Amino acid sequence: MKRGFILIVYLLLIVTIAAGACAVTNRVFSGERAERGGNGNDGKQKSAYTASDRFTRAVKDGNAQFVPKHPGVKNGQAGNTKIPKPVKDDSATVVPPVPIDPARPMIALTFDDGPSQETFRIVALLKQYGGRATFCVVGDRIERFQDAMREAAAQQCEIIGHSWDHRNLTKLSDAEIRDELVRTNDLIHSVSGQRPTMYRPPYGAVDDRVKGISAQEQLAVVLWSVDTMDWKTRSADQTYKSIMGQVGSGNIVLCHDLYPQTADAMERVIPELAQQGYQLVTISELLRASGKEIVPGEVYNRANR
């Protein structure tokens, strides 16, 4: 009898200890589930706090480092190129491209030697102010920055060739000149959907032979009337002063979208030109609005306005 009583007490003690252990275990696992933000499925259920939320919070704090996904981008890097901070894109202030008013002043901003990561910044600024530009691209850079070209095309910017690998066309054979032009234009068309009717020769180097081949390929030649020398100064302030000191309706402005300093300058130039009433248009739009016919083989450096 006594032995049976002791056995019952012993069993009750074991049951009590086991119940306590289960309670502790449940609290531990509940804490783990809470930290994972899921339902105890080893963290497979995603937290509601996403990368988008982190970016939104960073923008509000002025510390945005998040970069849109583009080919070759990993952890904020594309090859050896550091990706710049994106332009803050407040959808409430974005102005869609507007029709051209021939009675108002207009100017064509052009960017050579890209595309590059800086192209994204410049296109974002144009989008914000309802403007367009002409991007004169080097053929062997296109595949690396296809998204930049597509964004420019979506903003109704003009994309034209600047040769395949930036060689002086006047020093090449006829066949080499033709190859530089045709290969670049074919890839532009494949990526952006645009078929260029003009191009800008590297260094602005053109002679009668180059003009003749251009005419055969149904391409006009475009140069510039304002040279910012941004490739040399690498100074946002000097680029800004160069443009604003020579600004005038009908000008074709030469810049390069390879350099962060040029994109920095555009953060001042584009808003100020818009505030002064200038329409930011493409080269083709500028020439046509001035009544010029774009003729293959002819050279253009400004519009007469």
The residues annotated as belonging to the active site are 112, 256
Q: Using alpha carbons only, what angle is made at residue 258 by residues 129 and 124, rounded to the nearest 5 degrees?
A: 20
CB 83 within 8 A of CB 76: yes
> Omega of the bond prior to 115 within 30 degrees of 0, cis?
yes
- Per the structure block, which two tokens stand in for 164? 């395949």
Q: Which two tokens stand for residue 46?
A: 């995603």
Tell me how far CA of residue 116 lies from CA of 126, 159, 177, 181, 256, in angstroms.
Answer: 16, 14, 24, 20, 10
At residue 39, what is the residue type? N
Is the Cβ–Cβ distance between 282 and 157 less than 8 Å? yes
- Which CA distances in Å does 256 have to 72, 232, 265? 22, 10, 11
Indicate the DSSP class of residue 302: B
